[in-house]
Chains A and B, each alone.
Chain A
Amino acid sequence: MIDKKAIEHIAKLARLQITDAEAAEFSAQMEKILQNFKKIENINTQGVEPMVTPTEIESFWREDQVVQNYKPEDMVANAPDRAGNLFKVPPVV
């Protein structure tokens, strides 16, 4: 049952702020969608290895070399807030 409490819990896990109106909407819709997902519940999958990638991954190796493709300032250029080449975040301790 995807009630308001469950929605709040999921939103917290997803680090996603949602409004009361969204919570009500998602709760009704998720209930219906998850009901549809349940179609696969009774399929016998005993002993079947879950598939994570659809075609075989062919391993390849590259030289373990240090290369510098970008300048640090290019890498932080999109930061919403920074101090020099450091990202600014709220205090974490």
Chain B
Amino acid sequence: MDLTFASLSEISEAVKSKKVSAKEVAAHFQKRIESLDPKLNAFTSHNPNALEDAESTDSRIAKGEDVGLLAGVPFGIKEMLCTKDLKTTAGSKILSNFVPPYDSTVVARLKKQGVTVMGKLNQDEFAMGSSNETSFFGAVKNPWDVNRVPGGSSGGSAAAQAARLVAGTIGTDTGGSIRQPASFCGIVGVKPTYGRVSRYGIIAFASSLDQAGPMVSSVKDAALTMEVISGHDPMDSTSSQKLVPAWSQKLSTDVKGVKIGVIKEYMKGGLDADTEKTFSESLNTLKSMGAEIVEVSVSMSEFAVPIYYLIATSEASSNLARYDGVRYGYRAEFSSLAGVELEDFYAKTRGEGFGQEVKRRIMLGTYCLSSGYYDAYYTKAGQVRRMLTEQYLAAFKKCDVILSPVTTSPAFKIGELVSDPLAMYMNDIFTTSTNLAGLPGMSVPFGASHAGLPIGVQVTANHFDEQRMLNVAAALESVSPVKGRKPHVI
């Protein structure tokens, strides 16, 4: 078996049947990380106990214990998710020395199913960015072209997965942070329905939008990982009690009679030629496989980017108030605390600890929530958010899933947009609505630019209807013209 490109279930089955040990699997990927990661900067830290952890999976197997669905499968975890005794920094200086005393629910569930955590993956600071250039630990490079960004904020997860430094990764998605980097790096990335996956132990950016999900190499791997990480968690009051279906068992590529919605307001142009071509080919392909294309209207989607940034920055300014240099994280240096005003103590610590993009968003959010502006900005955004969601729900009465591009173009060059935040924010035009409405959405690779860069297609479904979304993605994947392409770096 070629371990590097094996699927999650292939690795797990091989480990359980003792064809290969979990330790050998971990050692194989550890070598890949050591040789390839210096080119990519995808990892921020390695799990020093990875081999021992894998060994304990092997000894459990030797004792005949049930080691779960992902036995011995090596995973990389985004820096947003707390990992017990492993640094969790959110890509920020302010948390650069933080070692959580507990695992996030997502990580605990992965470990319970036998996953070996190989290390932590780089990201935009506090998941704020569409390019992975705002990390305190430096920019991540796209494995398809190291002069280009891998996308953000889960850029480390996307790059590590595309270069197969691990078998699977976890990202988080607040406005497209799983789907956009998945598209830029040619992998599969899923943002589940809001509430499907517990947010307990995930560093909060914008609580009503954040959701963790798999970033892996195939739709089946995504379905399997989702089964492991989804489900009710008493530690998260927004976590849903709905049953978790066996998505991976029910995957089907049959799309006969499936109604594929196309949002007419998205068809106004503004897409680069390669992205437009990929999208229209994906529609034609589904049609030729027996799906029906239906035009739907979500007119409020035009306002998704402003509503998203109003809500996300407001929630972020509130969530990030906890970083004050008292209980954990970075503290500014003071020769003596005597005579230091508490407010100055906070301000200096936060001013030194946060990077530029985070400060910009805290400022925006604080302004939007401040007296005199709260109703005009935050309340209004919440109202338009409801109108947008209702339009989506009406659209799903006419179609089963919605197909759209993921981004307006393939991966851009490092440094190209970093000085123009508004242009960078507009990059999220196709992904933010999904978070605002709490819908599940995913990116599946379906094309390439003339320069060979990957281009994904986005499939969105109604709340908790992940199965239909995964099936349409599986259908596209089964006939994808870019199937089997590998980035140059590997």
Residues of A whose CB lies within 8 Å of any CB of B are 2, 6-7, 10-18, 22, 26, 29-30, 32-34, 36-37, 39-41, 43, 45, 48-55, 57-58, 60, 62, 69-70, 74-81, 87-92
Contacts and interface: CB of A to CB of B under 8 A. Distances in A.
Nearest to A9: B370
A57 B370 CA distance: 27
A50 B48 CA distance: 47
A16 B438 contact: no
A91 B337 contact: yes
A15 B329 CA distance: 16
Interface in B272-329: 300, 302-303, 305-307, 309-310, 317, 321, 324-329
B351 interface: yes
A81 B383 contact: no
If over half of B's interface residues share one DSSP class (helix, strand or loop), that class is named, otherwise mixed; here it is: helix
A40 B384 contact: yes
Contacts of B232: 60
A77 B360 contact: no
Nearest to B379: A50
Contacts of A7: 363
B99 A77 contact: yes
Contacts of B209: 54
Contacts of B309: 33, 37
B101 A43 contact: no
Contact of B330 (A32, A80, A88): A80
Interface in B13-37: none
Contact of B306 (A40, A50, A80, A90): A40
B97 interface: yes
A43 B340 CA distance: 47
Interface residues of B, number: 83
Contacts of B347: 11-12, 15-17
B195 interface: yes
Nearest to B332: A17
A60 B234 contact: yes
B387 interface: yes
CB-based closest 9 A-B pairs: A54-B438, A50-B382, A17-B351, A78-B328, A80-B331, A45-B383, A51-B386, A17-B347, A14-B366
A60 B101 contact: no
B422 A32 contact: yes
Contacts of B343: 15
Contacts of A33: 309, 364, 421-422, 425
Nearest to A59: B237
B329 A10 contact: no
Contact of A54 (B325, B345, B436): B436
A54 B366 contact: no
Contact of A60 (B97, B241, B366, B376): B241
Interface string B364-379: 1011101000001111
B230 to A, nearest CB: 13
Contacts of B379: 50
Contacts of A22: 356, 359
A91 B339 CA distance: 7
B280 to A, nearest CB: 28
B386 A53 contact: no
Contacts of A16: 347, 350-351, 354, 359, 362-363
Contacts of B325: 80
A30 B364 CA distance: 7
Contacts of B338: 90-91
Given A37-B309, A48-B383, 16 more contacts: A6-B367, A17-B344, A18-B359, A30-B360, A30-B363, A36-B305, A39-B303, A50-B381, A50-B385, A51-B389, A52-B208, A53-B238, A54-B436, A57-B238, A77-B99, A89-B345
